[in-house]
Structure 1
Amino acid sequence: MNMDNSVNYSQQQLALNQMFKDINPALSARQAGIESSRCYYCYDAPCIKACPSKINIPSFIASIHADDLTGAAKTIYKENIMGGSCARVCPTEILCEQACVRNKEEEKAPVRIGLLQRHATDNAEFDGHPFERAVSTGKRIAVVGAGPAGLSCAHRLSLLGNDVDVFEAEDKAGGLNEYGIAKYKLTENFAQKEVDFILSIGGITVHYETALGRDITLDKLKEDFDAVFLSIGLQDTSSLYLDNEDNEMVINSVDYIKELRQATDLKQLDIPKDSAVVIGAGNTAIDIACQLKRLGTEEVTLVYRRGEEQMSATKHEQQIAKNHQVRIKTWSQPESIDVDDNGKVTGMSFRKTYLEDGKLKGGDVQFDVACSAIFKAVGQKMAYPETEQLIPTISNGKIATFHNQLTSVDGVFAGGDCTGVGQDLTVEAVQQGKLAAIAINEQLNASIATPTTSTIAPINAALNKALSA
């Protein structure tokens, strides 16, 4: 790359970064000090109970108040090694902050736990990795998928002294954080910095562009490794089942977000300038609608077949859409994708809906929305590789898991979006990966007898030692 191209690339990247500035700017040191003083340090800590990863929230906030950011970050990382990204993307408004007792005061303003967590993880100063690996167990575990669940599992397994091989289908690790989160939530290169931080513990080897069913098989992994953890995410998008859905301007939102997150130049993107329609009601629908507005699409209409109360996107996310001047039309069901004689998308036709005896029905009113592009965000689903001979039990389209993320296949565990556990939140995926790692470690290192207090105690002691090192 010559100097002129380098300068041009930097300018293009700068322009893209400016367009997608952080939606929740970090707290200053003074703001963090004031905010941390608002915590009551409740003895029963309802915020901890509401946190899927069980971070000791009052403890890390107390450390911030004492100006010990490194100590605060270590408290966070003990339970959630992806505490940095979770501080940015976690729906704290329906979890820890909703549980905060400050909500019951006249001020009705919870402690801003998410921003305080970000302040700690962003500003901590560690000499190397914050934790030291336990003595080697001699065990090798395969992790399929380097998303939040897979990385969390790999890190905890390594921490406990196991060697881990991670097999990732993409050319980068990070999963949803790298490819699927709105660019204004995880800005610039944060996802990869976090991956580097996690891997710096050692004992983890990542094999990129290696996909289950194409390059590796579960049967072979079971043969070569002591245990397997599946965190393969969701690979397919639900359909609208409408004519013209295969038109090039009817786009899967997750694919477009992935392209946007990897882009270094706006010219790489096909941006609808005048108008676009987004079909869906979840966070992905909100993410794509807001990003289209930031990219310069003049009018973006988000359409959902039920009401605002039934939208899976939180009230906070819905407000973000409104702040971006996204038009939200509810009680409207897609009927057709309209194209002209040249095959160019011109709009969509909808039918107003209503509930009768709890069932959704179409009414008599129809209407059209003009647009030049349609973005589908109607849900993702798992597509387990058809070439795979060994398949865990599938329930409701996802991998069924039992106690401690164990699947129906002996020695195979699973976690993250590919399972039917939880609400498909990043923080839940991290917790599932962590719990699976602990269960795998216990199973492999206490396999000579049925796990009892005496057999598990040394494992717990090793874990506590590693976390306190």
Structure 2
Amino acid sequence: MTNSPFTPGIAPARLAPDALSENFSDLHAPLDAHEALVAADRCYFCHDAPCITACPTDIDIPLFIRQIATGTPEAAAQTIFDQNILGGMCARVCPTETLCEEACVREAAEGKPVLIGQLQRYATDTVMASGVHPFERAPATGKRIAVIGAGPAGLACAHRLAMHGHGVDLFDARPKAGGLNEYGIAYYKTTDGFAEAEVNWLLKIGGIEVHYNKALGRELSLDTLRADYDAVFLGMGLAGVNALRAEGEGREGVVDAVDFIANLRQADDLAALPVGRNIVVIGGGMTAIDAAVQSKLLGAENVTLVYRRGRDSMPASRFEQDLAASKGVRFIFNAMPVEVLGNGAAQALRCEYTRAEGSSLTGTGETFDIPADQVLKAIGQTLNGAPDALTLDGGKIAVTGAGRTSAEGVWAGGDCASGGEDLTVTAVAEGRDAAEDIHAALSGDA
């Protein structure tokens, strides 16, 4: 629901422009050359390095860090991009604290891992700043593939297919490419229009034609795509949002957290964004954390995150939880919403404490109210309008191997496909691997 500028408690310009600029500055300042050398020097360059195993894209982390240590960040970037063409974005948003850095031997020995994510950013930023694209297309094959969704999976797939000499038509439902990288990541994690700049840099490979404002099931038909193209890759993510299933959900002030973040990401003036005084965010994943933190940074006085289970069950990492707490976000665990209170507009959220009974949750009957003029729902997204030709698994497109669906000539990857974690880096790996499988199939090798 869209809030009117007269909704009680919700108003723009709660903070001065300079305060907003400071609040939404880069979460981690980039390393300079000297800092990168010092950080790289801490790597043991392990044989059978556990950090590689922990990376969904299988980047040779010790190799690229050694390349930085020897003063060749361009070579380090090549090592990264060979496996992850969106290595610049992943360096900014990947939960390295639960992946490569958690597996780092230094973390186990000292409680302080090598700064793998920041070193990856240093290397990839070095090359991207030069404007050089480190890959060339193979000779044209005459094959053409339709890629639906210009998010991480679709971009990775399109780039790898173009490298192999195939022509790619890349379709996206929105007016800009990037998917969640452009619309769904916290502003302070990817500043200065980096998501758009990364897309423009990626497209320098050539052979990729982007078509905006075209969605599957709306302007595009899977049957037509299968007839017109040699292969189809589906990477359109999850466009639907789960219902709150609480009384009063339709009141003014109740909004989807993904829309809240998207509006913030696309805003020309952060001071013009309306935000409530008392905000409650419902959910426990990264979207919930990003919405809660950014609400506080916009000037909300009280921000409370309500999660139905305990802290240890939260999908968001402990680092992200601690970040939110450091910004003043209050956490309430083991509670679920039951009613949005108010007369037309939200005024409070009534919650009920929960307890676990085996693998399920049940309400205890004990309720409490939280003042809320704005309620942000971050309780998961769903796949909308999957074509009948596709088999689903758990509400997502069922895939086998490197993204093969039940429909001949159709692959899928990223959030819309079954299996894997809903992470940018995982989506990149799935898009890349599907592209290799498509190439093998079109070349007669599979």
When normalised by structure 2's length, the TM-score is 0.94
Deviation at 1:13, TM superposition (A): 8.7
Alignment partner, residue 164 of structure 2: 160
For each residue in 1:317-362, what CA deviation from the matched residue of structure 2 results, as whole angstroms up to 9, or x when unmatched? 111111111000001121211013xx12110111112223443222
Superposed counterparts of 1:27-176, under 5 Å: 27-105=31-109, 107-124=110-127, 128-176=132-180
Q: Quote the Cα distance in structure 1 between the aligned partners of 2:131 and 2:199.
A: 17
Superposed counterparts of 1:425-444, under 5 Å: 425-444=423-442
Name the SS of the counterpart of 1:241 in structure 2.
Answer: coil
Alignment partner, residue 365 of structure 1: 366
Q: Is the 8 A contact 2:105 2:113 kept in 1?
A: yes
Query: Structure 1 residue 381 and structure 2 residue 382: aligned?
Result: yes
Alignment partner, residue 257 of structure 2: 253
Give unmatched runs, 5+ long, in structure 1. Answer: 1-11, 452-469
Q: Quote the Cα distance in structure 1 between the aligned partners of 2:354 and 2:246.
A: 17
For each residue in 1:288-333, what CA deviation from the matched residue of structure 2 results, as whole angstroms up to 9, or x when unmatched? 0000000000000000111001111111111111111100000112
Give unmatched runs, 5+ long, in structure 2. Answer: 1-15
Name the SS of the counterpart of 2:370 in structure 1.
Answer: strand
Name the SS of the counterpart of 1:246 in structure 2.
Answer: coil
Q: Quote the Cα distance in structure 1 between the aligned partners of 2:375 and 2:274.
A: 12
Amino acid at match of 2:316: A
When normalised by structure 1's length, the TM-score is 0.89
Counterpart selection for 2:390 from 385, 389, 392 = 392
Amino acid at match of 2:340: I
Q: Quote the Cα distance in structure 2 between the aligned partners of 1:435 and 1:123.
A: 26
Q: Quote the Cα distance in structure 1 between the aligned partners of 2:221 and 2:299.
A: 44
Alignment partner, residue 223 of structure 1: 227
Amino acid at match of 1:60: F
Alignment partner, residue 295 of structure 1: 298
For each residue in 1:374-412, what CA deviation from the matched residue of structure 2 results, as whole angstroms up to 9, or x when unmatched? 000011111125xx5x53111111000011100000000
Amino acid at match of 2:423: L
Q: Quote the Cα distance in structure 2 between the aligned partners of 1:357 and 1:207.
A: 48
Query: Structure 1 residue 21 and structure 2 residue 22: aligned?
Result: no
Query: Structure 1 residue 348 and structure 2 residue 362: aligned?
Result: no
Q: Is the 8 A contact 2:281 2:375 kept in 1?
A: yes
Amino acid at match of 1:243: E
- Farther off after superposition, 238-247 or 227-236: 238-247
Q: Is the 8 A contact 1:16 1:264 kept in 2?
A: no
Distance 1:365-1:141 versus aligned 2 partners, 3 A rule: same
Counterpart selection for 1:282 from 281, 285, 292 = 285
Q: Is the 8 A contact 1:237 1:252 kept in 2?
A: yes
Query: Structure 1 residue 186 and structure 2 residue 190: aligned?
Result: yes
Deviation at 1:267, TM superposition (A): 5.1
Q: Is the 8 A contact 1:16 1:265 kept in 2?
A: no
| Percent pairwise identity | 49
Q: Is the 8 A contact 1:277 1:303 kept in 2?
A: yes
Distance 1:336-1:127 versus aligned 2 partners, 3 A rule: closer
Q: Quote the Cα distance in structure 2 between the aligned partners of 1:55 and 1:223.
A: 36
Deviation at 1:364, TM superposition (A): 3.9
Q: Is the 8 A contact 1:13 1:264 kept in 2?
A: no
Distance 1:14-1:201 versus aligned 2 partners, 3 A rule: farther
Deviation at 1:28, TM superposition (A): 2.0
Deviation at 1:214, TM superposition (A): 1.5
Q: Quote the Cα distance in structure 2 between the aligned partners of 1:420 and 1:359.
A: 22
Q: Quote the Cα distance in structure 2 between the aligned partners of 1:277 and 1:126.
A: 43
Q: Is the 8 A contact 2:141 2:166 kept in 1?
A: yes
Q: Is the 8 A contact 2:247 2:338 kept in 1?
A: no
Counterpart selection for 2:275 from 271, 275, 286 = 271
What is the CA RMSD across the aligned residues, in angstroms? 1.5
Distance 1:357-1:243 versus aligned 2 partners, 3 A rule: closer
Deviation at 1:14, TM superposition (A): 7.7
Q: How many residues align?
A: 430
Q: Quote the Cα distance in structure 2 between the aligned partners of 1:277 and 1:169.
A: 30
Amino acid at match of 2:175: D
Alignment partner, residue 319 of structure 1: 322
Q: Is the 8 A contact 1:227 1:411 kept in 2?
A: yes
Following TM superposition, the consecutive aligned residue runs of length 4 or more in structure 1 with deviations greater than 6 angstroms are 12-15
Q: Quote the Cα distance in structure 1 between the aligned partners of 2:251 and 2:365.
A: 28
For each residue in 1:85-136, what CA deviation from the matched residue of structure 2 results, as whole angstroms up to 9, or x when unmatched? 000000011111111111221x221111000000111122657310111111
- Farther off after superposition, 26-35 or 139-148: 26-35
Q: Is the 8 A contact 2:37 2:68 kept in 1?
A: yes
Q: Quote the Cα distance in structure 2 between the aligned partners of 1:141 and 1:281.
A: 37
Q: Is the 8 A contact 2:150 2:179 kept in 1?
A: yes
Superposed counterparts of 1:409-420, under 5 Å: 409-420=407-418
Q: Quote the Cα distance in structure 1 between the aligned partners of 2:218 and 2:229.
A: 18
- Farther off after superposition, 40-49 or 364-373: 364-373
Deviation at 1:157, TM superposition (A): 0.3
- Farther off after superposition, 347-356 or 426-435: 347-356
Deviation at 1:434, TM superposition (A): 0.3
Q: Is the 8 A contact 2:131 2:201 kept in 1?
A: no
Q: Is the 8 A contact 1:144 1:229 kept in 2?
A: yes
Alignment partner, residue 444 of structure 2: 446
Amino acid at match of 1:398: K
Name the SS of the counterpart of 1:33 in structure 2.
Answer: helix
Q: Quote the Cα distance in structure 2 between the aligned partners of 1:101 and 1:267.
A: 44
